[in-house]
Amino acid sequence: MFQMPNERLIRTTGAMVLLGLLFLTPGRAEAADGWLDWLDGWSGPGPFVGAGVSLEVLCWREDDNAPRIPEDPDQNADNADPNDTNPTFCFEQRLKKPAKHTLSARAGWYFWKTREQRFSDEPKDTGTVKIVRLEWQYALRVHRLVEIGAGIGLMNIYGDGFDSIQRLIISPLTASIAFSEEMSPVQVRLRLSGVYMPTGFVGEDFGNQVTHYETKSEFVPSIGLEFRF
């Protein structure tokens, strides 16, 4: 039977991903993003404010159509055969224009206001709730300023008075709109998305035996800004 990773593993993995993305960023600045995000409140705790980093891992040019790793990792995209439909690692190439398809790794940390009531029917429960979010995100460029996509990942939820909780998350649709051209020194993009958790929560998940809080699943919107350097 599948078991979700424990709290220590999630936090260690999150820290390693964040550090890895930061170390890789200088070598491939075009693929690196920083982001700020507002995640709407669940039926109980929230809303949450978060920040993180993202790294484009695989890139497909406009004529690409098959998700295969290139046999020659030293191939430079500026000199590549236009009929070559292999995707390549984004940090191994220099694109003259943005890729048509990208696959990115995203990692971030969210927090919720301290000393705020977590449940509507339990005013005495005012502990904190924090989130580590790890996600794979696919994006399709449909216009020079617009991208749409989807993602899947994992949330590790922890805070005062309860053991760490892990939830699978699915972002069925995301949209990203740029305020400037890709060649600007810093491109700012507005990002809209929704986060679906197939498994919901009960008050006992947060160490509360009094509240009647219970959900079968959760779907919440989020809005944020991306900064591409």
pLDDT at 148 over 50: yes
Distance separating alpha carbons of residues 70 and 66, to the nearest angstrom: 11
User: Could you give the 3-state DSSP secondary structure of residue 91?
Assistant: helix
pLDDT level of residue 73 (50, 70, 90 thresholds):
very low
The set of residues, in sequence order, having a beta carbon less than 8 Å from that of 185 and lying 6+ positions away, is 229
| Range 38-51 average pLDDT | 88
Q: Which of 14-18, 123-127, 162-166 has the lowest mean pLDDT?
A: 14-18
Q: How many CB atoms neighbour CB 154 within 10 A? A: 18
| Range 61-66 average pLDDT | 53
pLDDT level of residue 203 (50, 70, 90 thresholds):
very high
pLDDT at 68 over 70: no
Q: Which of 120-129, 132-141, 154-163 has the lowest mean pLDDT?
A: 120-129
More confident residue, 218 or 229: 218
pLDDT given for residue 123 in this prediction:
87
| Range 19-31 average pLDDT | 45
Q: Could you write out the DSSP letters of every residue in 155-179?
A: EEEEETTEEEEEEEEEEEEEEEEES
Domains of the chain: 7-69+81-228 (2.40.160.20)
| Range 205-222 average pLDDT | 92
pLDDT at 215 over 80: yes
Q: Which of 220, 163, 173, 224 is nearest to 197 (CA)?
A: 220
pLDDT given for residue 229 in this prediction:
75
| Range 48-72 average pLDDT | 69
Q: For residue range 165-186, list pLDDT tens digits in order.
A: 999 999 999 999 999 876 667 8
Distance separating alpha carbons of residues 87 and 77, to the nearest angstrom: 10
Q: For residue range 4-21, list pLDDT tens digits in order.
A: 455 555 555 555 555 454
More confident residue, 195 or 80: 195
